[in-house]
Amino acid sequence: MQFFIDLKYTLLAAVFLPFFSGLLIYLCNKKLIRNIIIITSSFLLFISTIYIYYLSIHYQNLSFTLLDFGKAHISFKVEPIGMTFSLIASLLWVLTSIYAVCYMQKSYSGGSNLFFCCFSIAIGCTISIAFAGDLLTTFVFYELLTISTYPLIVYNLSNEAITSGRYYIGLLFGSSMILLLPGIMLLQNLTDSLDFTAGGLLQNNIVSPTFTVVLLFLLIYGIGKAALMPMHFWLPKAMVAPTPVSALLHAVAVVKSGIFIIIKIVFYIFGIENLQNFVKQNWFLGSWLTYAAGFTIIVASLIALKQNNLKKLLAYSTISQLSYIILSVLIFTHFAIKAAVFQLACHAFAKITLFFVAGSIATVSGKKYLHEMHGIGRSMPITMSAFTVGAFAMIGLPPTSAFWGKFFIIRSAFTADNLFVIIVLIFSTLLNTAYFIPIIYNAFFIKPSDSFKEAPMPLLVPLVITSMLTLIIFFFPSLILNLLDEL
């Protein structure tokens, strides 16, 4: 009983700590104290999630209701997928906070209190999504995440930033209200529950093939943050935001929350065995989403090939890589779900490294375009070595963690006799190689026209740590896989 009490209050503290620190940040009058609050609260959040994991070992699948509205409620639950996501998000939040404080000091005279307040609220929404015990709780904090990140997108207040903000808020809110909310209402009407349930909430409900396809479409495409085409337009446009925001969007909060929710919907709402049987009985109706994910992977990679702006290239790379995870989920096996969560972690560490590098280069040299970065690896060898690690991970090369991620997905596809997934992964790997390897070659093997120093330590250290974690997980994949043993 004591463990349960400790878990409950520690979980509440983890969920509401970023919101409370966001309020303190907004009210703070001195930048030094504000920055101390930012970094201290990020460390406290990470420590809290570690302690929750420790407590959860003693009590499996613990949950409690915060607010009860009869048939619906706001509830939180500790389960393996959410526990893994919360640990990754909170760890990366520490590094992002250190990076953001320095970056904003160098590029935006320290940044505003509102910026860091919204930054903190965004991670609070992410942790709340990670521990959400039902689909209503997920929906509430998913929408709050959109609202809290909007001021970060339009922070520059340029015409481009304001236009990008309109795309961002319009597409994400539009997909939520037109698709996701009706899907949730249909589910509530069918089952009288929205709880994430082991084996799937729908496992004991007989649903017609047409209804299943409609519900799957509404719930998956309603998650616009997953950037499944054609719901992807907001992501490249959001690159107008400061680089810490880009890192937030791509590696810590926004798109990862979208993918995470899709994993939980498939696993805890529809149920793996339920969807396996559905695909066997309705091949076309059960496979269309797989082809949509495959289309997104290939087309986004082809668009990335044409990009000259580094952040835009990374944005389209993210769109492609997110659908890797979706593709793994749609194999509908327990191991494929583990592979998807593992790849989510690998992508988080590698992609945040790449955005940290892009921000460091822009801060030191002002360069944003690929043709301006020839030879920059000779001036910034540590930074570009980290970029190389991140790029290798995007391609899926050893010794980076994403090698195992792709291997596990291909292994799942072989087991399920899914040739389409294997072909898409092979072709996309070739495309990833085509747009990342020239950047690395030009950075190290072409004579530079300018000379620069490495970025300041608060910018350099986070990208070194994330690149090292990408390498460490290659040698110790069990660091992630062990968290998913109870699936």
Mean pLDDT of 430-445: 92
In angstroms, the Cα distances linking 175 to 74, 179, 217, 309 are: 22, 5, 11, 28
Interatomic CA distance for residues 114 and 128, integer angstroms: 21
- Structure confidence at residue 156 as a pLDDT band (50, 70, 90): confident
Region 179-199: what's the mean pLDDT? 89
pLDDT band at 231 (very low <50, low <70, confident <90, very high): confident
What are the tens digits of pLDDT across the range 80-120?
A: 999 999 999 999 999 999 998 888 887 677 668 888 899 89
Report percent pLDDT > 90 for the chain.
48
Q: What H or E segment, with its residue span, contains residue 63?
A: strand 63-68
> The tokens of 84 are what?
């893994």
Burial of 342 (0-12, 13-18, 19+ CB in 10 A): buried
Q: What is the mean pLDDT of the chain?
A: 87
Q: How confident is the model at residue 203 (pLDDT cuts 50, 70, 90)?
A: confident
What pTM was estimated for this model as a whole?
Answer: 0.93
State residue 255's pLDDT score.
85
**pLDDT average, residue stretch 197-221:** 82
Q: Using 50, 70 and 90 to split pLDDT, how confident is the model at 1?
A: very low
Q: Note the pLDDT tens digit of each residue in 276-311.
A: 888 877 767 668 888 999 999 999 999 999 999 888
Nearest to 435 by CA among 324, 308, 293, 344: 308
Query: What is the DSSP-derived secondary structure letter of residue 192?
Result: S
Q: Under a CB-based contact definition with an 8 Å cutoff, are residues 136 and 72 in contact?
A: yes
pLDDT higher than threshold 50 for residue 479: yes
Contact 118, 249 (CB under 8 A): no
Q: Please give the Cα distance from 90 to 106 (Å, whole number).
A: 24
Q: What is the pLDDT of residue 283?
A: 67
Residue with tokens 């190689």: 433
Q: Please give the Cα distance from 102 to 110 (Å, whole number).
A: 8
Mean pLDDT for the stretch of residues 427-448:
91
Tens digits of per-residue pLDDT, 243-281? 766 676 666 788 889 999 999 999 999 988 888 888 877
Across residues 8-14, what is the average pLDDT? 83
Say yes or no to pLDDT of 125 above 90: yes
What confidence tens digit (pLDDT) does each residue in 31-78 have?
889 999 999 999 999 999 998 888 888 766 577 888 888 778 888 989
Name the residue with higher pLDDT: 250 or 181: 181
Question: CB-based contacts of 208: which residues, under 8 Å, 6+ apart?
Answer: none
Rounded distance between C-alpha atoms, residue 196 and residue 233, angstroms: 30
Res. 205: pLDDT tops 70: no
Tens digit of pLDDT for each residue in 391-412? 999 999 999 999 999 999 999 9
CB 396 within 8 A of CB 405: yes
How much is the average pLDDT of 203-226?
83
Residue 225 CA, chain-centre distance (Å), reads 9
Question: C-alpha distances in angstroms, 18 versus 8, 120, 230?
Answer: 17, 5, 32
Cα gap 216→54, rounded to integer Å: 35
Pair type for strands 63-68 and 73-77: antiparallel
Taking the C-alpha atoms of residue 465 and residue 458, their distance in angstroms, rounded to an integer, is 11
